Structures are given as C-alpha cells and as structure tokens.
Amino acid sequence: MTRREWLSALGTAVVGASGAAPAAQRRAPAPGRQPAVLDLKDFQPRSMLAAASTRVPRARVPAIDCHAHFGYSAVSTAGIAQGEEVQFLAPAEELLPVMDRVNLRMMVNLTGGVGRGLEQSIDRYQTPHPDRFLTFAEPRWSRASAPAYAREQADDIERAHRLGARGLKVLKTLGLYLRDRVTSGPLVAIDDRRFDPMWEACGALKMPVAIHIADPEAFFLPIDRFNERFEELNNHPDWSFYGRDFPSFRSLIEARNRVLARHPVTKFIALHLGNNAENLGAVSECLDRYPNMYVETGARVAELGRQPRAARRFFDRYQDRILFGTDAVPHGVDMPQQIFGEALYEIYFRFLETEDEYFDYAPAATPPQGRWRISGIGLPESILHKVYHDNAARLLGLAS
C-alpha cells in the first residue's frame, strides 16, 4: 500500500466512525489524473540533479587505446571466420585527426585477421604509421578440427610475428561458438589442449594475448523481468547465452583461469575488466592468483562507474596491471558505447579524471546497457600515466 492509499483508507475509517460524509463532500477523481501509459523504450528522463559537469575533451597524458577494431572477417559461418578476407571499416586518414584531437598516441587494432588479411591490416595501418597503430593477429579457427592444427596454429603465430603482429586476439569464438567440427558438434572448451602450443608460442615471442571469453553475467540468465539488462538483450536477443548447450558464466571464467595457470610465461590481457566488471572482488582474486593476467577498460565504464568507490580502490591496488581500452569501432555498429569518436573518448576521460557524479556512460538518448548513470573516480596523474600509457607500452614492448 502506498502512502497515498494509506491516508485515503484512514480518512474512510474516520468517516465511517462518525457517519457517512455528504455526497457533495466526497472527492471524485480529478479529470486528466489517470495514470499515463508510456513504453519504457520511449522513457528518456532528464536528471534534476544539480551536479558538477566537467568537459574533458583530451586525455591528460598521451594515451594508448589498446582495444579497437578497424575491420572484421568478411565471411563467417555460425560465428566462425572463414577464409582470410577482411572487411575494413575506416582508413587511417579518418582515424588520425580524431586521435590527435583527443590525445591518443596510439591505437591497437585487435582484429587484424589471419594470413593475407593480416598482411593487409598491417599494410593499411601499422606500416605507414608505425608510431600510431599496432596490429594483433587472430587464430585460424576454421582449421581447428584438422589433425595437425595444434602445430599449424603455433607456426601461424610465428608467421604473424614475422609480419609485424604484436599480439594475439581471442574473440569469444572460443568457448561460445567454436565446435568440435568447427561449426557443428559440441562446443570446444577454452582450455582444450589443442591450443597449448598457440599459448606457448605467444609467450615465447612476447606477444600478449587479448582474450574475451564471456559477456556480462546477465547475458547468461533468462531474459525476464528480473534481468537488469532486459532492454539490451531484448534489443539483441542473439547476445543471450542462456540455455541451449552454452556453458555457464562461471565455467567459462574457470576454464580461462586454467589456461592462465598452465601458461605462466604468456601474458594475457583479460578484456572488458576480466569479463567480470560487476564483480571486482572476483577479478581481484584472479589478479592476485595469476601474475600473468592484466585487464583493460573496454566497454565497461558503465559497470565501473556505478561503483566508483570500489572502482577507485581497484585502480589504486592494480594500477600497474590495468590498461586503457574502449572497444572502439569506427562505423557499422548500433552500439553507441563503442562508436569511435570524440564523444566516446570524452566519457572515458571524464570517468577516469574527474569526480563528477551521475552522468551518461554512452553518447545516447537512452542508456544502451542498463538504466543507470555513472560517477567519475578522479585518478591522480601518477596512476593516469600508468593506465593511459605506461602499462600498455611495457606490455607491447614500446619505447617510453
């Protein structure tokens, strides 16, 4: 019962004790006071909070965005890239002016592809602008069922390194899409032994592995009225990994951790804040247990910014193992929290550099990931230097 309903009932009880009120004194519902009907998708409330609003159009120190995507496989089947052709999203000449304006020293293109596609990625970005772009290779998933795949994939890593690739990107293809017969049969586990030579090759060549193995935990729960990400999943039902034969969120994390433990020489960048940004305690336990694990911020300021005090403590404690990333994509996505541009970077800089409260985490009229706003964590310049630049430079073997 609401307060208004309680007061109304109390008034009725008093009238009943002293006799019925005259009809003229009884209050009829005011015309036009009926509850409004509004679809949630059309609800765009304007905050009434009078709070500081700080513009941060440039990073305070030159930054390295270690998580970006300039292209993707041109052909895929059931989530598995086929062939070597890459569809590029933007030329370097389109990216560089924005990078200069927001004070980005460098961007890392994680989805560089394989074979000829990798060569083209390097030729388009890294070769003409070696101080502004780096490229990561990808595994050749379409060959994963071949008898000699383990050795072939390790050799492929060595060829990629000779071409100039600086790391390896593992999409959530592994664990959630790749199957025993590539596109059919049981799902292949993240810690499948056939990938051991690949992880070892990366360690030997000092190529960090940027690994994405799960989405937010809500994506593994029913899409119902209890799911905080209902709108996001309702708009993108194919993002749901609930049911069917998908592994649980916890089992994916555990399989990744077994890989970290088995390959201590290999450096792993656990993307999206370790794929568990809403449970910083669990991420902390992993960082404490696995010294070869690093994390980055790509597409997770929404989660970090609604727990600013815990996030600030996390950045203080792990300031040497957190990298700056955005998961930026130049064009062609309906995810405003990832569209490359000045508006995106300004939100990240505001989160990291100010103590502003209750601001949007994406340049969008409706929050795309969940109905909340974020607060900044106001990092000191000493930590900003590490997160924006020094940690990535050290991991990628760049000159300071």
Q: Would you state the structure tokens that stand for residue 92, as one six-digit string?
A: 């370097």
The average pLDDT across 230-257 equals: 96
For the beta carbon of residue 163, count every other beta carbon within 10 angstroms.
18
Residues 6+ apart with CB under 8 A from 382: none
Confidence label for 27 from pLDDT (cuts 50, 70 and 90) = low
State the helix-helix crossing angle for 196-204 and 149-163, rounded to 10 degrees.
30
Q: Would you state the structure tokens that stand for residue 133, as one six-digit string?
A: 């772009």
pLDDT at 334: 86
By DSSP bridging, strand 268-270 and strand 76-77 are unpaired
Residues 6+ apart with CB under 8 A from 354: 52, 54, 56, 376, 378
Q: Where does residue 150 rank: exposed (0-12), middle (13-18), buried (19+ CB within 10 A)?
A: middle
State the helix-helix crossing angle for 308-317 and 280-289, rounded to 10 degrees.
10
Q: Which CATH architecture is the domain 63-396 placed in?
A: Alpha-Beta Barrel (3.20)
pLDDT at 191: 98
Distance CA 42, CA 137 (A): 42
Q: How far is CA 89 from CA 16, 136, 152, 326, in A?
A: 73, 16, 29, 16
User: Which residue intervals of the chain are DSSP H helices?
Assistant: 3-18, 92-102, 115-121, 149-163, 173-176, 196-204, 230-235, 249-262, 271-275, 280-289, 301-304, 308-317, 342-353, 381-385, 391-396
List pLDDT tens digits, range 341-373: 999 999 999 999 999 999 999 999 999 999 999
Q: Would you state the structure tokens that stand for residue 256, as one six-digit string?
A: 């990744």
Distance CA 233, CA 21 (A): 53
Find the helix or strand (DSSP H, E) in which 170 lies.
strand 167-170
List pLDDT tens digits, range 167-226: 999 999 999 999 999 999 999 999 999 999 999 999 999 999 999 999 999 999 999 999
Boundaries of every domain in the chain: 63-396
List pLDDT tens digits, range 98-151: 999 999 999 999 999 999 999 999 999 999 999 999 999 999 999 999 999 999
CA angle 310, 326, 261 (to 5 degrees): 65
Query: What's the whole-number average pLDDT of the chain?
Result: 93
pLDDT at 8: 46
Distance CA 389, CA 257 (A): 26
Q: Where does residue 325 rank: exposed (0-12), middle (13-18), buried (19+ CB within 10 A)?
A: buried
Higher pLDDT, 141 or 14: 141
pTM to 2 decimal places: 0.91
User: Which residue intervals of 211-300 are DSSP H helices?
Assistant: 230-235, 249-262, 271-275, 280-289
pLDDT(6) > 80? no
pLDDT at 233: 97
Question: CB–CB of 68/326 below 8 Å?
Answer: yes
pLDDT(22) > 90? no
Q: What is the chain's percent helix, strand, coil content, to nearest 5?
A: 40, 15, 45
Q: Would you state the structure tokens that stand for residue 112, as one six-digit string?
A: 């560089």
pLDDT(336) > 50? yes
Tell me the backbone φ, ψ of residue 211, rounded to 5 degrees.
-120, 130
Q: Would you state the structure tokens that stand for residue 391, as one six-digit string?
A: 């940690």
List pLDDT tens digits, range 46-72: 899 999 899 999 999 999 999 999 999
Distance CA 144, CA 177 (A): 12
Q: Would you state the structure tokens that stand for residue 6, as one six-digit string?
A: 């309680």
